[in-house]
Amino acid sequence: MSRRIPLIAGNWKMHKTGMQAVEAATQLQDLVKHATDVEVMIAPTFTALYQVAQALKGSHIAVGAQNLHWEKQGAFTGEISADMLVDAGCRHVIVGHSERRQFFGETDASVNRKIRAALAAGLFPVFCIGETEAQREAGETFSVLDKQVRDGLKDFVFDDLSDLVIAYEPVWAIGTGKTASKEQAQEAHQFIRSLLDTLFGKPFASAVRILYGGSVKPDNVRALMEMPDIDGALVGGASLDPETFSKLVFFNH
């Protein structure tokens, strides 16, 4: 089995102006400069991307965006293309976050096109999936994940996907303080990995990183990261404060 380097990713959502983002990123850089064997990514808002990427030049913190449009350019008011994100200094882009699905009409089909556009531009897509509370209570967790993975990755082949990262984020755990237990998270991650094995084969399934997201905090990160199929975290609330986020980066200390 190939070794999966953990990725600790911060999703800053609609927080921080450019100056505030640069300040937090610079502090974080200093706090995590001795971190080894872990990748770190932060995803500020669009307006802060370039400044943050400039401020972090030469550091090992990567910059990601929170969304993109699938077209290269054109009459799409308010949208941003993959090439524009690369130009702003991004290496990653979050795709299909549940807030985009819930509030902005994101579908498995649009997620599929966005993943394709991101990969074509050389970005690492962080492809988010996860069930709602009602779906979990109805016993539909696995069927929801199955559909999201199959439709989100429809018409891809193994070779296309080497830069893909997946994030399992149960919607009921996002921003609620209700983390999935490490067993619940592991069970979902294992399900996703075995589905990827079926769809794309073992080399891909054993190499792809699957992050957990949903109220990850310094006091629960270690237990989650000890689970065999959890390869990192996608963090909202606890990523905003550099000190707190740095504790997540040093989860194994």
Amino acid at 160: D
Radius of gyration of the chain (CA): 17
Shortest Å, Cβ 197 to ligand PGA: 25
Q: Which helix (H) or strand (E) holds 63?
A: strand 61-65
Residues 93 and 83 sit within 8 Å (Cβ to Cβ): no
Closest by CA to 119, choosing from 146, 60, 159, 168, is: 159
Shortest Å, Cβ 181 to ligand PGA: 15
The helix-helix angle for 141-152 and 108-120 (nearest 10°) equals 40
CB closer to ligand PGA, 74 vs 177: 177
Residue 82 tokens read as 């993959």
CB closer to ligand PGA, 69 vs 100: 100
Task: Give the residue closest to ligand PGA by C-beta.
Answer: 236
DSSP 8-state assignment for residue 138: T
CB closer to ligand PGA, 8 vs 35: 8
Q: Which helix (H) or strand (E) holds 127?
A: strand 124-129
Task: Please give the residue ranges that form the binding site for ligand PGA (CB under 6 A).
Answer: 11, 169, 174-175, 213-216, 234-238
Neighbours of 120 (CB within 10 A): 13
Phi–psi pair at 25, nearest 5 degrees: -65, -40
Catalytic-residue membership of 97: yes
- Catalytic residue, from 39, 69, 92, 97: name it: 97
Shortest Å, Cβ 52 to ligand PGA: 18
Catalytic-residue membership of 133: no
CB closer to ligand PGA, 88 vs 94: 94
Shortest Å, Cβ 100 to ligand PGA: 10
Query: What residues are labeled active site?
Result: 97, 169
